[in-house]
Structure 1
Amino acid sequence: MSRRIGLLFLTVAALLLSACGKESSWEEEEIVEESNRIITDDVKVNWELEKNQASGKSDLIRISVTNKGEPMDDFEVNHEKLLHLIVVSKDLSYFNHIHPEYKGDGVFEIENEFPAGGEYRMIADFKPTNGHSISKMDWVTVEGEAAQGVAVKVDDRLEKKVDGMNVVLSVEPGLETGKEVTLKFTVSEGDGKEPVTDLEPYLGSIGHVVVLSEDGERYLHVHALEEQGSGPEALFETEFPQSGVYKVWGQFQRDGEVVTVPYVVEVP
């Protein structure tokens, strides 16, 4: 028995000595290049407002986008624009969806006439090259006298009439949190509610929908279903992250004009 143990010991020792004579396995591993993929947390947005001295009515909005502290200068066209800017008043009564001009070195600019002073939610949607779509938002204070706030009231009926069109919103299978739902807008016109079938593409799809929670803290990026026609129905998919009150703005284009239809819903 002792002879066998001795042979086993000698065999193991020989193997260990042989292994020591070889090059380290670390040097044999394949070198993997670090990804250049842009990380959302590395992207920052700075907001500046500058009053138009000539008119005194509008403000120049300047948006500076950086990645790891350096100007981000490479963007992809997303829904026909490099950057979408959503401007909403604190009481959600004012809404504007605009598209700033790119000035280079990560800077976008546009003028906007605010209805009053006070706090506004600024939301920038953009897609950097070599990155996913990004939404960045912040509260920005506009100089001037603030208007009397308007209470956010949940709609009893989700049917609105705007610019001669009747637009009915329904949610399928129903309003609830944490599950994908379909927002269906049905568009008609006239007292007879004739179906509208001549909606025009807006930003590359049948329409555009923005959803914001009552406190302005939860913004939903809503996608239209692909390969839709020109009405009377327009379908969008989203998911409400928490229960609460939300405002929904549906935007549709007809005869070259964009119509914005607002609703307020409560998600149980």
Structure 2
Amino acid sequence: KDFDIQHEKLMHLIVVSKDLSYFDHLHPEYKGDGLFTIALNFPAGGEYKLYADYVLKGASKVVKNHTVTVEGEKVQTTPLKPDENLTKIVEGKEITLSFDELKAGTDVTLNFNIKDQKTGQPITNLQPYLGAVGHVVIISENTDEYLHVHPMDEKAKGPDAKFMTKFPKSGIYKIWGQFQHEGKVITVPFVVKVS
């Protein structure tokens, strides 16, 4: 019944489609007595995986996952392919992901460099998103592995946002970086291969 707040919320709910093409990061409302609720609008029929990420009072973080099947017309699924280019344009921002080496079981620093797409100028006034410079969620291709990564320097304002993590196994993973600029949350996806 008792939960600790982590990054400004009692629960972070991550919703992905089975092929990881759809992603949402939500915050269910606590109704008391261990019950959290949220209204979800799934974009299409098919299988989705839900990850509830929370902290019991005075204990460590818990992640529970659950698969649901949604009725309705399914969309064409596309297999995950590692990105050849790790620079993406999202909402007028040019975001480049860099790292040393992606090796299972080894600490790796993921660096997101954020620039203005039009001017090429570095963005140095990122706003805190849920109390930090950004959040990163990483899910393996088979959806078995889930990592919710917090920044190394929560107070950073850009253009670099660094996150340290460790991939549990080799394989293909999808990474979503979430940042806030001028009141708008930007979600940028990357697909990588871990050796």
Q: Quick check: 1:117–1:143 contact (8 Å CA) kept in 2? A: yes
Cα distance in 2 for partners of 1:190, 1:141 equals 38
Q: Quick check: 1:252–1:259 contact (8 Å CA) kept in 2? A: yes
| Residue 84 of structure 1: aligned partner | 12
Normalising by structure 1, we get a TM-score of 0.71
What secondary structure sits across from 2:49 in the alignment?
strand
| Residue 193 of structure 2: aligned partner | 266
What secondary structure sits across from 1:205 in the alignment?
coil
Cα distance in 2 for partners of 1:245, 1:258 equals 26
Residues 42-97 of structure 1, C-alpha deviation per residue, up to 9 Å, x if partnerless? xxxxxxxxxxxxxxxxxxxxxxxxxxxxxxx1111111000000000001000000
Residues 206-262 of structure 1, C-alpha deviation per residue, up to 9 Å, x if partnerless? 000000000101111212113542110000010011110000000000111100000
| Residue 177 of structure 1: aligned partner | 104
Q: Measured at CA, do residues 242 and 109 of structure 1 come closer, stay the same or move farther in structure 2, by a change above 3 Å?
A: same
Compute the RMSD of aligned alpha carbons.
1.1
What secondary structure sits across from 1:195 in the alignment?
coil
1:107 counterpart (16, 31, 35): 35
Q: Quick check: 1:228–1:234 contact (8 Å CA) kept in 2? A: no
Number of residue-to-residue matches in the alignment: 195
2:129 counterpart (202, 220, 230): 202
Cα distance in 2 for partners of 1:227, 1:115 equals 32
Q: Measured at CA, do residues 130 and 149 of structure 1 come closer, stay the same or move farther in structure 2, by a change above 3 Å?
A: same
Normalising by structure 2, we get a TM-score of 0.97
> Is structure 2 residue 85 aligned with structure 1 residue 157?
yes
Cα distance in 2 for partners of 1:153, 1:178 equals 22
Q: More helix by proportion, 1 or 2?
A: 1
| Residue 138 of structure 1: aligned partner | 66
Percentage of identical aligned residues: 53
2:152 counterpart (225, 234, 237): 225
Shift, 1:142, TM fit: 1.4
Q: Quick check: 1:86–1:96 contact (8 Å CA) kept in 2? A: yes
| Residue 55 of structure 2: aligned partner | 127
